[in-house]
Amino acid sequence: MATPPPLGQPSDAASLLRAVLQENSRTQPERLREVIDALTRHLFAFALETRLTYEELELGLQFLNAIGQATSPAKNEAILLADVLGLSTLVQLQDAQRILAQGGTEPALIGPFWRAGHPVKANGEDIFSADTPGQRLRIDGRVVDLSGQPVAGALVDVWQASPVGLYENQDPQQADKNLRGRFTTDAQGRFALRTVRPAGYPIPIDGPVGRLLEHQSRHPMRPAHIHFIAIAQGYRVLATQIFDAIDPHIHNDVVFGAVGSLVREFQPHPEHPDELHLTVELMLEPGETRIPHPPLD
């Protein structure tokens, strides 16, 4: 009779999984242990389901290494990967169920182009430089709590791509931090700004995520949108986007982020008919104020 392996020595997939999970059992904090446990179980199930070969594992690890190597001050390739796989939107959808049940504003992806230190602007100021082309767009916004009461002193970060579909950090023709601004709500929770109608754009495809899209025969386009992040003490941070309803890719966003409640039609401004107008209400839910780290400096 064969001698059984020593206790704890892996002999097959099940015993190896038990051994790995046992080594994780002392991990702190508890939430980290829970996440690593689940990740380990799913990785094992993935490898078994696909009968993953070691050569394929090496290719996958090379791909992950390339993701890190392609990340730079101008581009966050890791966020791009999570976005095009739908993972970022999935996490947002889980949050959205809780938020929408309370009447809050639907969240959307922060994306890889939020920068630290957006220019501080007074309410009503332009966020575009004088040489920026495109149809002018006035935005009147309001930050409120779940009961509709104004949230005064909230910080609202706004950023967008230009009418040629480039963020300013991608485009040497634009001034530094063009089409970006930070506003503070007044006593009625209001903020206002002037910008230009954004254009849809392709996500960067010069790295490993671009090669993945090529293998998948997928286009790289995002529909035109404007980003908003609202931050107020005593409230959960809200990151969302407003999408232009007439964009040709509104129904096939490469990162699956253009959800119905955030798709809007830009209307002619009633007092400035040569400009467009958009009203935005950002409704915050109470909770811990955890400010995310901007992907770019």
Where do the structural domains in the chain lie, given as residue ranges? 77-284
The CA-based angle 177-226-139, given to 5 degrees, is: 95
pLDDT of residue 2: 56
For 232-268, how does the pLDDT look when each residue is reduced to its tens digit (9 = 90+)?
Answer: 999 999 999 999 999 999 999 999 989 778 999 999 9
Residue 121 in contact with residue 178, Cβ under 8 Å?
Answer: no
For 123-136, how does the pLDDT look when each residue is reduced to its tens digit (9 = 90+)?
Answer: 999 999 999 999 99
Q: Which residues of the chain have pLDDT under 70?
A: 1-8
Around Cβ 25, how many Cβ atoms within 10 Å?
Answer: 8
Structure token pair of residue 68: 């890190």
Classified by CATH at the fold level, domain 77-284 comes out as Protocatechuate 3,4-Dioxygenase, subunit A (2.60.130)
CA 36 to each of CA 26, 32, 39, 104: distance values in angstroms, whole numbers, following the listed order: 11, 6, 5, 31
Structure token pair of residue 254: 């490469």
Strands of the 190-196 sheet, one edge to the other: 190-196, 136-145, 276-284, 267-268
CA 210 to each of CA 59, 85, 102, 170, 221: distance values in angstroms, whole numbers, following the listed order: 16, 12, 38, 16, 11
pLDDT of residue 12: 94
Q: Identify residue 89 by its one-letter amino acid code.
A: T
Distance, CA of 212 to CA of 64 (rounded, Å):
12
Distance, CA of 73 to CA of 31 (rounded, Å):
30
